[in-house]
Chain A
């Protein structure tokens, strides 16, 4: 059995065992089985990573063909996988963070009756996500793409007894499906154009410039629609905040670290395609920017700890798409990796808080938790610092790389991105201070009962905290010396042949820009600290929110808008078609035929009145007619 098969097969095996027998297994076995399968995949992926470092041809990867999925005339798709530099990076993130989150879930979900189901789903998710990144053709990607959507559906609606959660799950699945339709159409176009779906055939053909511009734009737009759905970009982002209905480890794994970055992966994978379609690039850039700003603004007024993080995720994803739109593919991947670290950390930290607070998620009900939960407090602080760009933490480097790319590309984009990054600081510190500083405000649970989480939960927090601090090492900026810097750029360079390395701007400009960002960061910290710690302010109650804030708190009323523009009309249409067109018009037409027949028969019936005189009269008349006819003609 080769390594790709093992990497994929282990989580699948975990899923099958837990899914089928899990009900009868003790919880400890279920949990550890789930964790170890993913961990084993991680270890194997590390081995492959090491092999790839020494591979002779850097752009090549491992290939593995399982069997033929479909083969009709020239439509030939295999169950085949490839493990190259890009996918190994994704695999490491997925299995690495995945195994930490599995470990975390052992404690977090311990009380839940659906424990085994949870681990089965998680393993199944890992399997699908791996299929997405390891697939050697677009159809395998689509398999994983839909598969993770399905797992996301299952996990959001994990507490299935709550109808609201079920609704959120459905919303997520359907919005993803809208994106999937775009992706599917993109696939059809790709096959139409290149007669294949294999990366190894399609991608070089895309790059060689033989395809018409219109076709490239069409394909890339279709794929981007898919990416919009999965990576929660405007206009398909509204499912992600609702997806927080799922258990917190799910939010960390699926809705922050891995699945939502699939769109970024797709764009990077088809780098040649997107690089050669400037129209799409611009669309990506502006959609990403708009998403980033909008989500950040909404995040300012959210009071649910997970909702804040969710909007923050949307905002950060938007930033990644800004990078992609600027052509800075490495920067996007870099931010993807660091974001996976610190966002997973933040979500797990919030999970730890929620766990301690007995499933209270409203930050207004918290406060002063730092004394009770030191590990969570410190790791959460690190996460917050990382995401807001505290110098020399991971987020600092990755975000700066994106901002520099934006500066290089378009000054307006740069300014708006900086604003978005600054707002990130505002809402993150607001949440952080309100949660951990100040005084305890919950009256339902006494402060004494708040407790630090068990080691299965705090260990992943610590590991992720370390990663959040050191994640910047992946791709240090070049001004820190050539030996240590740009590791990721070099690693991915063979996969990204088109994106030329960015014109080196002078280090002075770079320092200036970085300095500006740091200055803003300091201002933000001072402002929020002043407001929420020194003055001990608490976000106001919903009813008291001023009108501008209300718009933000209500997420710009986008959900309501969609409801009004899409959901309601569709339901109305459905009833209308059912009640009017189907039963009245079409049913009426068919009924009309029988009514017509009945009417004709009614006419005939009059003749058949049973009165013999009529019959005879008609008979005689008819005879006379025939005879007369014979006589005269």
Chain B
């Protein structure tokens, strides 16, 4: 088990997290459903988390900051999801929609 991780090159982690990040990013950019947006944001955050963890492992015992940041990000992500979903619920209650492209009343 341990070997599998160690036998993988750091580049594989980078590629995977890049793919995950891009999936999340394009989801954010092109999907309109707010729930999917939030999910995509989670995806992007997790892509970053993966990268942090991978780099932390790569650095070995010298630097565990990466792993620490993973926890930070998980907390932030949780908070963000909570707030985001709360806003979403309120929006849904007011507009009966979860489509963000209608929420452009700030422009004026």
Direct contact of A and B (CB under 8 A): yes
The reply to whether B103 and A612 contact each other, CB–CB distance below 8 Å, is yes
Cβ–Cβ contact A616 & B29, under 8 A: yes
Interface presence of A613 (CB below 8 A): yes
DSSP majority for the B interface? helix
A508 at the interface (CB under 8 A from B): no
Q: Is B105 at the interface (CB under 8 A from chain A)?
A: yes
Roughly how many angstroms separate A613 CA and B37 CA in the complex, as a whole number? Answer: 10
Q: Does B1 contact A (CB under 8 A)?
A: no
B100 & A613 in contact (Cβ 8 Å cutoff): yes
Chain A min CB distance to B30 (Å)? 7
Distance, CA A612 to CA B41, complexed state (A): 14
Q: Give the chain B neighbours of A609 by CB distance below 8 A.
A: 104, 107
- The proximity string for A residues 603-633 relative to B, scoring 1 for CB distances below 8 Å and 0 otherwise, is 0010011111100110010000000000000
Residue of A nearest to B100 (CB): A612
Interface size of A in residues (CB-CB distance below 8 Å): 10
CA distance A537 to B39 in the complex (A): 119
Q: Give chain B residues whose Cβ lies under 8 Å from the Cβ of A620.
A: 25, 29
Q: Which of A376-426 contact B (CB under 8 A)?
A: none
Query: Do the beta carbons of A611 and B29 come within 8 Å of each other?
Result: no
**Complex Cα spacing A363 to B85, Å:** 107
Interface members, chain B 54-108 (any A CB < 8 Å): 100-101, 103-108
- Which residues of A are found within 8 Å of B108, using beta-carbon distances? 610
B103 contacts A610, CB within 8 Å?
yes
B28 proximal to A (CB < 8 A): yes
A610 to B100 alpha-carbon distance, docked (Å): 10
Q: Are the C-beta atoms of A610 and B106 separated by less than 8 Å? A: yes
Quick one: which of B101, B105, B106, B107 contacts A613, CB cutoff 8 A?
Answer: B101
A616 touches B28 (CB 8 A): yes
CB-CB contacts below 8 Å: A574-620 with B:
605, 608-613, 616-617, 620
Q: Output the least CB separation between B3 and chain A (Å).
A: 34
Q: How far is the CA of A577 from the CA of B33 in the complex (A)?
A: 62
**Complex Cα gap A610–B108 (Å):** 8
Q: List 8 A-B contacts (CB under 8 A).
A: A608-B107, A610-B104, A610-B105, A611-B100, A611-B104, A613-B30, A613-B100, A616-B29
- Considering the complex of A and B, which 5 residue pairs feature the smallest CB-CB distances, nearest first? A610-B104, A610-B107, A610-B106, A611-B104, A609-B107
4 new A-B contacts, CB < 8 A, other than A612-B103, A617-B29, are A608-B107, A609-B107, A610-B104, A616-B28
Please list the residues of chain B having a beta carbon within 8 angstroms of any beta carbon in chain A: 25, 28-30, 32, 100-101, 103-108
